[in-house]
Amino acid sequence: MRGGGSVKSEREELDELEKKWMSRMTSFTTPVPTPEDTLDLIARVKEQAQKPEKQAEVAPSDHQTGGWMDLIISQWSFYGMRSWLMSAGWMICFSLMIGAQSITIVPKDEAGVFWIQAVTLTIVLSIAYTFRPQNEGMAMLERLSVYSLAAQTFVRLCMVMGFQWILAIPFSFVIPGLDNGWLFLWQWTIPLFFFAVITFVMAERWGMGASLSVSLMIWGGQWFARKVLPEVSLMVQTEELSFRPVQLVSLVVAFLLLGAWYISQRRREI
């Protein structure tokens, strides 16, 4: 009986405390949100959720459009000064050898054609060396970079072509038998760009072995066509500063291949 009374008294005390505190609390009724309020809340939540995604999308874009110089520096640092200087030194030595042979050995009327053949062969070998297969560690570092793989690879291609083009310019102006050095610069720059892009895109698609083989076959076919069918050969000299049909076609093909590679690479990364 004592236990039952104790429980009853405890309940009474709890009831009194509840009534006491309920009298002190202010009651209020929460208004029911209207459909407009609900839609406004959903819109604000979506806006807050999309802000980090927009910032994440803008960051790579800023790197690719506004930070090309930083990307070039990162590529230089990534491969190391020794690797780039060795590549540049090899191209310098080869260009010197080509220039010397053009001046001393090759007949004057053939010096320009020989130069175009040599400089295109040089760019094919330079692309093959620069984009040779990497080890797994280097590939992993590239994937972890803040820049996309497409941007890194494209900048590296531009650096190789720029190296070769800048190194070749001085020698192209001292080749004997040329009346217009600027005209000749135009005539060998187009084949250089064409063979660089062809070698690069095929290497990215089918590997360096297949790329080098096909590029050398195209190079040999162009060399053979200069005598048999000069209209379809890039390794000829003209007296006019104008697009030949074969030059125009080669530029269009090169740009289309480069654009297709870049788009496919970006889609693969997304």
Q: What pLDDT shows up at residue 16?
A: 79
What are the tens digits of pLDDT across the range 219-232? 999 888 888 888 88
Helix (H, G, I), strand (E, B) or coil at 25: coil
Determine the pLDDT at residue 132. Answer: 75
Residue 63 in this model has a pLDDT that exceeds 50: no
Confidence (pTM) = 0.67
What does the pLDDT average to over 21-35?
64
Identify residue 120 by its one-letter amino acid code. T
Report which secondary-structure segment, H or E, holds 177.
Answer: none
CA distances from 143 to 20, 54, 55, 78, 152 (A): 67, 22, 20, 12, 10
Distance of alpha carbon 198 from alpha carbon 188, whole angstroms: 16
Torsion 259-265-267-270 (CA) sign: negative
pLDDT of residue 194: 94
Residue 135 pLDDT greater than 70, yes or no: no
The pLDDT confidence band at residue 31, using thresholds 50, 70 and 90, is: low
Q: How far apart are the first and last CA of the chain?
A: 78
| 8 A C-beta contact, residue 99 and residue 176 | no
Of all residues in the chain, what percent carry a pLDDT higher than 70? 63
Question: CA-CA distance, 92 to 99, in Å (whole number)?
Answer: 10
Q: Evaluate if residue 65 carries a pLDDT over 50.
A: no
Dump the DSSP string for 100-158: HHHHHTS-HHHHHHHHHHHHHHHHHHHHHHHTPPPPHHHHHHHHHSSS-HHHHHHHHHH
Tokens in use for 108?
Answer: 């004057």
φ and ψ at 177, to 5 degrees?
80, 15
pLDDT for residue 138: 65
Cβ-contact 64, 149 below 8 angstroms: no
Measuring CA to CA, which residue among 163, 189, 32 is closest to residue 85? 163
Q: How far is Cα 197 from Cα 223, in angstroms, rounded to an integer?
A: 18
